[in-house]
Structure 1
Amino acid sequence: MSNKAIQEKYFDSYTDEDYWGENLTPVFNKKILTKYLEKIDKNSKILDFGCGNGKYGFTEHMITLGFNVSFTDISSNSVTALKKRLSRLNLNFDLAEAGDIGLVCEKINNEYFDIIFFGDVFHHLTYDDTKTILLCLKKILKNSGGKKGKIIGIEPNGKCPIWRLMPFYNKDFKWEIEKNIQYCTRNDFEKKFNDSGFKLIEYNYVRFLPLFLVTNFTFLKKIDEVLTKFPFIKNYSQYTLLVAEIK
């Protein structure tokens, strides 16, 4: 079974039931995204690629920040569930599409989006998947009139050894689904983007210490901010924020 088929099957089964509880995307990650988006024009059109069903995901957060947000996912169950969730929360969105990104991009006008956002998505993709997807998405990103569309991602760092240990203490972490984390390194992203007509312009290490520590203890959050500035230590951070733009 191809990686694409494995991911689609998993996320369809993962969202059999609609989720109406609190959005569980870590506040720490939301703050990272918020800080970056403060630099972005509020009229920007954003596509949340790999949106999920609303249990984990950034769509809801970006809408509440005041942006014009669309979303897509390979899992039709996820898109249906998220649409229901946003409707129930009285949150408006622009476009919502499910399925193969090649077919989705055919439905959307060229140069429609200012930003395409990936939150915990790249690490589900093989190198070939990523290249194919980026080439499709490039068509629907702004690239004229002096405007260059951007890709923004918040992703695991493949150099962090903790991901290899996760299956032993987190029953929800399935290596078959998450295994492409190993290819989420700066060098890999630079090559993936370059081969797809993009240039990596930012790559920031955003968390070294465990999430619960930086979330619950202010002094540890400050220590973490220092650690992620040291060249050797930061290379093994758990997460990164990356930004690429069309060449």
Structure 2
Amino acid sequence: MYAIARFVGLDLRSMRPNAKFLIIPGAIVVVANLASSAVLLSPYPLIPTMSCLVVLNTVHHLFGNDERGRLDTLYTALGIRRQHVVLGRHATCLLMLIAFTVAGTLLAPIAALAFGAEFDWAVAATVAAASVTLIGTLLATQLPAYFATGPGPIRIVAIFPPAIVMAVVFGAWGFPAVRAAVLSWLDDASPARLAVAAITAIATLSIFGLASTTLSARLYARRDL
């Protein structure tokens, strides 16, 4: 556990020198999303959009740092096993996903206040949980490819799934009937139904996460660094 936490610290420090490459794209996406929220009069799409930034930008940035700085050699010199690198990178991505989702959740009521839109914390919490599950699943399916090939070959392909997810979310949320149906379901949902949905989401994310770390460890062990 200490080795994994140590690696997460290395990951976070590796992002600091080039933080602008994370902040600038994030700011562009947030501004564009705020404009869309103003048109739709709904702040909730801001939450999954912020979650998607982890897949669109952060993951590639982390693996790109490994390649540019020959950090894989540093990990070996520090005695960090490849299995711990895999577990640590998964932990870093999960922490970043949660952080971005929380940021989106906190920005949503500010956007709602600015645009005079309705806001419900229960709805926002549900959307945040769904975002972590969905984007976390996407991360789990993409990380093995990064560990197998590095950031270069997979970069172009990896951007499409989250982009499609964002397009579907905004496209569907743009229809008043869809928004009304989703909000109505959340209002009528019993605590038992929401609990079952939460347990299902956690189980799904756990299964994909376990499969991802197992496959990533095997592929990374075979990779010639």
What is the TM-score of this pair, normalised by structure 2? 0.29
- Indicate the structure with greater strand content: 1
What is the TM-score of this pair, normalised by structure 1? 0.27
- Indicate the structure with greater helix content: 2
